[in-house]
């Protein structure tokens, strides 16, 4: 044993200090053993055994050095595969378990294990696992009594990032009621549409969102939707205050019988995602999908001892599924913020000893744009989980804030395929490994960007993209990787299904995203296709924006698209419009409609007035050329306008304004 260790150390030392000489030294040792004449002394067997142990140890070390050189990510691959297989076996066990074991049951087990442990920390107040459990019992009982809720009834949550969001959802889960998580930025038509999607007959909101609810209250009442306000009182007829009823309700556990018929593929949530229809689509999230998303923390190496920082909206799958549900699965502590703040981010992390953070690409860019400080690396954050991180921001973030493991991922709320970059390779969104591809088949297919459709061969089958070539990501729909679709929108569900991909009769999920696999099996996100673009971390549906623009008195038609701005992630909103006969572009009127009916991230910052809009043969508006031309007034002869927030109207886009935008003197 001693000789083996000595030989291993000798070989490693020679290889580490003098690589070329080290290999020669080892070969010399091996030849000496083979060619050395037999000594006459009686100690020959011992001497040879010593030499053989040295050579054997050297071979082991030498083999490992070659493996590391030619397979640098083998260790990370093995760790991830083993970890993923373990999580997969857990999910398989949960699929077969009766009655269902959901994330709610995982939370209740955590309450039993460590009732006094802090679960939520929000604005100076701490809530233990037991505190949240008891409060969710009170909410569940109050809603059961007031709204007469029963298993299977869908309830819409129109709430900001607050603890009440968490225990209201848990209370509904204890009643067996799916929750529809509404984006608190949406208004009017979009907000009403959300109810028709999921069939919710109850809306729970708070005083912050009351004005938005009052705008559509007459329609809600016509549709028989009950509205409950998390407040002690409300003077508006049709809005029922709920806080007093909650405070008087019992905090005793709710009977499990209330959710006796729920199974692993029952609907747990509706999470809304913008798409080509222009209105939010309600992605159906089953209990199985909740588990799969919550495992991403475990797959990233997060433990029960970590402190997880959530500043992303809880109506997003990232904040809710990966953040909140992932923390429940791990049993750790959550630091919850209403919204992201670049100026307070690191102070929060230091104050609360945060070890794991979430991000979208924009948030890390905001952090990098903050003035430099001496104590920037003075924190305990070790893992960052998120998506949309640009390569330059990634590098700068690590240089400024220290050795943080970036776990960049790719996934879609409704999708059946996803990736995670478990090696921290800068720029990649994941890595292809054979186990993942075997269990959840996927491929990249060639895609015609101009026609916005897959390229097919003479047999009508799709053509797989070559290594290094950008292609459309599609995931095979199987029992193991299903695609449930969108509630109340069969047309959009079918639109996401792609048949006859690699063989006749097969069925794949169309992600609508263009990716690339390199020769080292890393995955890179390239672009989005279709009518949706992304800005400020939100999906913007072009047809919804176009509908609002055409409400302006002067606009006849609108073609909305996203354009790139140097130094910013995603694409900012722009619209090419035609004017009604005899009308000039009304800067103030258009501004008023845009601001009134669209959230800030969806408002088109640039307007291009054209004599007519270019159409395809099937009367679809052409966007590719418009996107390529951008918003440079020196290159475009059409009148261009810019949404000026200070002047509260659209103003003519001049060379000076364009220059100020490119120099980041004007905040977008």
Domains of the chain, by residue range, sit at: 2-70, 87-339, 429-517, 532-662
* DSSP secondary structure code for residue 601 in this structure: G
Longest alpha-carbon distance in the chain: 114
Taking the whole predicted model, whether its pTM rises above 0.85 is answered as: no
**Cis bond leading into 152, ω under 30°?**
no
pLDDT of residue 2: 59
Closest CA to 651 of 571, 587, 555, 568: 587
Q: How far apart are CA 387 and CA 419, in angstroms?
A: 10
Q: 267: which strand partners?
A: 286
* DSSP secondary structure code for residue 453 in this structure: E
Q: Please work out, in degrees rounded to the nearest 5, the angle formed at the alpha carbon of residue 338 by the alpha carbons of 334 and 344.
A: 85
Structure-token pair, residue 120 = 């939520």
Q: Please work out, in degrees rounded to the nearest 5, the angle formed at the alpha carbon of residue 498 by the alpha carbons of 496 and 500.
A: 175
Q: How far apart are CA 12 and CA 61, in angstroms?
A: 6
Other CB atoms within 10 A of residue 239 CB: 21
CATH superfamily of 532-662: ANL, C-terminal domain (3.30.300.30)
Exposed e or buried b for every residue in 407-433, given b needs 16+ CB within 10 A?
Answer: bbbbbbbbbbbbbbbbbbbebbbbbeb
Structure-token pair, residue 332 = 């750790």
Backbone angles phi, psi at 145, to 5 degrees: -80, -45
pLDDT of residue 623: 85
Sequential DSSP letters for 265-282 = TSEEEEEEE--TTSS-EE
Query: For residue 162, what are the CA distances in angstroms to 100, 370, 640?
Result: 28, 26, 41
Closest CA to 541 of 590, 604, 485: 604
CATH 2.50.20.10 fits 429-517, yes or no: no
DSSP-based three-state secondary structure for 228: strand
Of all helices (H) and strands (E), which one includes residue 226?
Answer: strand 226-229
**Please, are residues 449 and 530 in contact by the beta-carbon 8 Å criterion?**
no
CATH 2.60.40.10 fits 87-339, yes or no: no
* DSSP secondary structure code for residue 258 in this structure: G
Domain 87-339 and domain 429-517, same fold? Reply is no
Question: Which stretches of the chain drop beneath a pLDDT of 50?
Answer: 15-16, 18, 21-22, 25, 34-43, 275-277, 617-619
Helix axes 210-222, 188-198, angle to 10 degrees: 50
DSSP-based three-state secondary structure for 235: coil
Sequential DSSP letters for 561-578 = EEE--TT-SS-EEEEEEE
**Cis bond leading into 380, ω under 30°?**
no
What is the CA 431 to chain-centroid distance, rounded? 17
Q: How far apart are CA 259 and CA 178, in angstroms?
A: 11
């Amino acid at each position: 044993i001693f000789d083996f260790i000595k030989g291993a150390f000798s070989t490693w030392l020679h290889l580490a200090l003098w690589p070329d000489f080290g290999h020669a030294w080892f070969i010399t040792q091996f030849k000496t053993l083979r060619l050395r004449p037999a000594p006459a002394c009686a100690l020959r067997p011992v001497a040879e055994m010593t030499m053989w142990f040295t050579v054997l140890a050297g071979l082991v070390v030498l083999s490992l050095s070659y493996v590391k050189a030619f397979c640098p990510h083998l260790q990370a691959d093995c760790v991830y595969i083993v970890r993923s297989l373990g999580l997969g076996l857990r999910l398989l066990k949960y699929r077969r378990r009766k009655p269902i074991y959901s994330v709610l049951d995982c939370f209740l087990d955590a309450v039993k294990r460590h009732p006094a442990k802090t679960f939520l920390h929000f604005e100076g107040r701490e809530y233990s696992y037991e505190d949240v459990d008891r409060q969710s019992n009170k909410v569940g009982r109050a809603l059961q009594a007031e709204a007469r809720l029963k298993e299977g009834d869908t309830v819409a949550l129109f709430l900001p990032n607050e603890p009440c969001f968490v225990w209201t959802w848990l209370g509904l889960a204890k009643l067996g009621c799916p929750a529809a998580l509404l984006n608190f930025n949406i208004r009017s038509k979009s907000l009403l549409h959300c109810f028709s999607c999921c069939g919710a007959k109850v809306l729970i909101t708070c005083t912050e969102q009351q004005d938005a609810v009052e705008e559509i209250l007459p329609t809600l009442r016509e549709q028989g939707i009950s509205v409950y306000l998390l407040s002690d009182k409300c003077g508006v007829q049709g809005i029922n205050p709920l806080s007093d009823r909650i405070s008087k309700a019992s905090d005793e556990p709710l009977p499990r019988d209330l959710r006796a018929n729920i199974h692993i593929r029952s609907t747990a949530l509706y999470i809304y995602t913008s798409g080509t229809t222009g209105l939010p689509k309600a992605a159906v999230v089953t209990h199985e999908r909740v588990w799969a998303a919550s495992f991403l923390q475990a797959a990233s190496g997060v433990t029960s001892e970590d402190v997880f920082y959530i500043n992303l909206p809880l109506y997003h799958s990232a904040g809710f599924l990966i953040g909140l549900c992932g923390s429940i699965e791990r049993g750790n502590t959550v630091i919850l913020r209403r919204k992201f703040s670049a100026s307070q981010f690191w102070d929060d992390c230091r104050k609360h000893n945060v070890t794991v953070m979430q991000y979208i690409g924009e948030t890390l860019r905001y952090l990098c744009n903050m003035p430099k400080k001496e104590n920037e690396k003075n924190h305990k954050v070790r893992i960052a989980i998120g998506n949309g991180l640009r390569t330059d921001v990634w590098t700068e973030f690590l240089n400024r804030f220290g050795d943080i493991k970036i776990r960049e991922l790719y996934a879609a709320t409704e999708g059946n395929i996803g990736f995670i970059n478990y090696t921290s390779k800068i720029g990649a969104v994941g890595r292809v490994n054979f186990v993942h591809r075997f269990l959840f088949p996927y491929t990249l297919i060639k895609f015609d960007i101009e026609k916005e459709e897959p390229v097919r061969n003479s047999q009508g089958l799709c053509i797989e993209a070559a290594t290094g070539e950008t292609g459309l990501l599609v995931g095979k729909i199987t029992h193991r990787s299903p695609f449930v679709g969108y509630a109340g929108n069969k047309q959009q569900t079918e639109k996401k299904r792609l048949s006859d991909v690699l063989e006749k009769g097969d069925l794949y999920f169309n992600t609508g995203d263009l990716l690339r696999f390199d020769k080292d099996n890393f995955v890179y996100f390239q672009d989005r296709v279709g009518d949706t673009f992304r800005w400020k971390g939100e999906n913007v549906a072009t047809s919804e924006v176009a509908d609002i623009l055409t409400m302006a008195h002067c606009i006849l038609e609108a073609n909305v698209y996203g354009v790139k701005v140097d130094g910013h992630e995603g694409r900012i909103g722009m619209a090419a419009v035609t004017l009604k006969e005899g009308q000039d572009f009304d800067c103030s009127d258009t501004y008023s409609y845009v601001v009134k009916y669209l959230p800030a991230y969806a408002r088109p910052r640039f307007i291009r007035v054209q004599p007519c809009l270019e159409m395809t043969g099937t009367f679809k508006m052409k966007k590719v050329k418009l996107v390529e031309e951008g918003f440079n007034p020196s290159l475009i002869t059409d009148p261009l306008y810019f949404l000026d927030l200070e002047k509260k109207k659209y103003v003519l886009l001049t060379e000076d304004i364009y220059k100020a935008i490119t120099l980041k003197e004007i905040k977008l």
